[in-house]
């Protein structure tokens, strides 16, 4: 059983010949709306990868909230504990130009109201094999969730994204840290990823390396690069979410972490072959097909 405590956002994506400058109006191309947010995406990724998954988070009382909830449910995620707060859902306003360059404004909306974990939310975390958090909800909630997991003996994973400064002590509650190179740099305070420096802070680290795959290191002295699966890339959006959701599932099944990382690489590689965000997240059979190939 996996619990994801995190964000849910509606992504509003406008395509345009070029990004507007301040004060300017540009006539755009297509518009696409899709459920997103790292928390919701990773919960969907975990459920599709075969994990019994519960999402803890907050959606708004607007129409977007209905769609965000339905998207999770459709993927098989347990949404029975999702909070509905009066007001706007989280929204990401995304503009993309014809070169793929983007500008993104995230309005956290209901995500900002996800504070003060309830007894029911704590019980869900305590009953899980794995708790997975990201950093798009208030950090005090991330901290409280990780602490609740740690106290109950639930394995805790932090995907420290997006990169930001963390309060002292937060990483002490983390069993497995998942970061890309930028997020790793933000944590250790210098650009080159330094596994030893990260292992001073947490017992296990997975560094994702896009097309180069990932790297796993732990305090037992293991440090190994796990190569990516070679595939045709259509769109790398949500690859990190596919990877992290699948990793949580594999670890929750008791697989060795190096094997879990290889399986998660397969999930990321299936995702990059498809265009879209949550729509590109792979099902277990697709992950298995590539992993076994
Ligand atoms: P993020 O988007 O969080 O920075 P990455 O870009 O590192 O995450 O991608 C996450 C994972 O997805 C990688 O570790 C890898 O397993 C897989 N992946 C990403 N890009 C590719 C690619 N071009 N080919 C194969 N696998 C990929």
List phi, psi (to 5°) of 91.
-135, 140
pLDDT tens for 143-185 read 999 999 999 999 999 999 999 999 999 999 999 999 999 999 9
**Residue 172 known to be catalytic:** no
Mutate to test the pocket of ligand 1, among 239, 240, 281 (most ligand atoms within 8 A of CB): 239
Q: What is the pLDDT of residue 229?
A: 97
Mean pLDDT of 25-43: 96
Instruction: Please indicate whether residue 282, judged by its CB atom, sits closer than 6 Å to ligand 1.
Output: no
DSSP symbols for 93-140: EEEE-TTS-EEEEEE-GGGGG--S--HHHHHHHHT-SEEEE-SSS-HH
258 phi and psi, to 5 degrees? -65, -40
Kindly state if the Cβ of 14 falls inside 6 Å of ligand 1: no
Residue 256's alpha-carbon distances to 127, 149, 247, 275, 286, in angstroms, are 21, 20, 11, 31, 21
Q: Which pairs count as long-range contacts for 279-284, CB under 8 Å and 24+ apart, including other chains? A: 279/34, 280/235, 280/237, 280/238, 280/242, 281/41, 281/44, 281/45, 281/48, 281/75, 281/238, 281/241, 281/242, 281/245, 282/45, 282/48, 282/49, 282/242, 282/246, 283/48, 283/49, 284/48, 284/49, 284/50
Where residue 37 falls among pLDDT bands split at 50, 70, 90? Answer: very high
Ligand 1 atom 26 nearest Cα: 269
pLDDT of residue 269: 97
Question: Is the shortest distance between the CB of 149 and ligand 1 below 6 Å?
Answer: no
Whether pLDDT at 192 is above 90: no
Query: Is 121 one of the annotated binding-site residues?
Result: no
Among 129, 175, 241, 256, the active-site one is 241
Task: Indicate whether 101 pLDDT > 90.
Answer: no
**pLDDT value for 275:** 87
Segments making up each domain of the chain, as ranges: 2-8+36-89+109-292
**What is the distance in A from the centroid of ligand 1 to the CA of 228?**
8
Q: What is the pLDDT of residue 152?
A: 98
Atom of ligand 1 nearest to the CA of 241: 3
- CB of 184 closer than 6 angstroms to any ligand 1 atom: no
What are the tens digits of pLDDT across the range 58-98? 999 999 999 999 999 999 999 999 999 999 999 999 999 99
What are the pLDDT digits (tens) for 249-279?
999 999 999 999 999 999 999 999 998 888 8
Given ligand 1 and candidates 177, 179, 228, which is best to mutate, with the most ligand atoms within 8 Å of its CB? 228
What's the pLDDT score for residue 191? 86
The answer, yes or no, to whether residue 100 has pLDDT greater than 90, is no
Query: Residue 111, annotated ligand binder?
Result: no
Tell how far the Cα of 114 is from the centroid of ligand 1, in angstroms: 29
Mean pLDDT for the chain overall:
96
According to the model, what pLDDT value does residue 276 have? 84
Query: Which numeric CATH code is attached to 2-8+36-89+109-292?
Result: 3.40.1190.20
- Position 261 scores a pLDDT of 98
Q: Is the CB of 163 under 6 A from ligand 1?
A: no
pLDDT range class, residue 293, cuts 50, 70, 90: confident
pLDDT confidence of residue 1 = 96
The predicted model scores a pTM of 0.97
Banded pLDDT at 207 (limits 50, 70, 90):
very high
Question: Is 241 assigned to a binding site?
Answer: yes
Query: What percent of the chain lies above the pLDDT cut of 70?
Result: 100
């Amino acid at each position: 059983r996996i619990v994801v405590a995190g964000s849910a956002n509606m992504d509003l994506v406008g395509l345009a010949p070029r990004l507007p400058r301040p004060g300017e109006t540009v006539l755009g191309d297509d518009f696409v709306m899709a459920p997103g947010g790292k928390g919701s995406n990773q919960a969907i990724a975990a459920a599709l990868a075969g994990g019994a998954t519960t999402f803890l988070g907050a959606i708004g009382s607007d129409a977007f909230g209905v769609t965000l909830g339905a998207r999770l449910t459709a993927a098989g995620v347990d949404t029975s504990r999702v909070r509905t707060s009066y007001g706007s859902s989280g929204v990401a306003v995304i503009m993309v130009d014809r070169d793929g360059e983007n500008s993104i404004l995230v309005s956290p909306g209901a995500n900002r109201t996800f504070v003060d974990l309830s007894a029911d939310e704590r019980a869900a975390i305590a009953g899980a094999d794995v708790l997975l958090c990201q950093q798009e909800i208030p950090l005090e909630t991330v901290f409280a969730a990780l602490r609740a997991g740690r106290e109950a003996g639930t394995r805790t994973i932090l995907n420290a994204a997006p990169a930001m400064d963390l309060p002292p002590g937060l990483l002490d509650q983390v069993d497995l840290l998942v970061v890309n190179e930028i997020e790793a740099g933000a944590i250790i305070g210098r650009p080159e990823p330094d596994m030893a420096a990260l292992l001073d802070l947490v017992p296990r680290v997975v560094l994702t390396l896009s097309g180069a795959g990932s790297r796993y290191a732990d305090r037992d002295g293991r440090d190994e690069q796990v190569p990516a699966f070679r595939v045709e890339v259509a769109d790398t959006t949500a690859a990190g979410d596919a990877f992290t959701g699948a990793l949580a599932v594999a670890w929750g099944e008791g697989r060795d972490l190096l094997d879990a990382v290889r399986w998660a690489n397969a999930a990321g590689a299936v995702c990059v072959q498809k265009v879209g965000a949550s729509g590109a997240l792979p099902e277990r059979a697709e992950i298995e097909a590539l992993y076994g190939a």
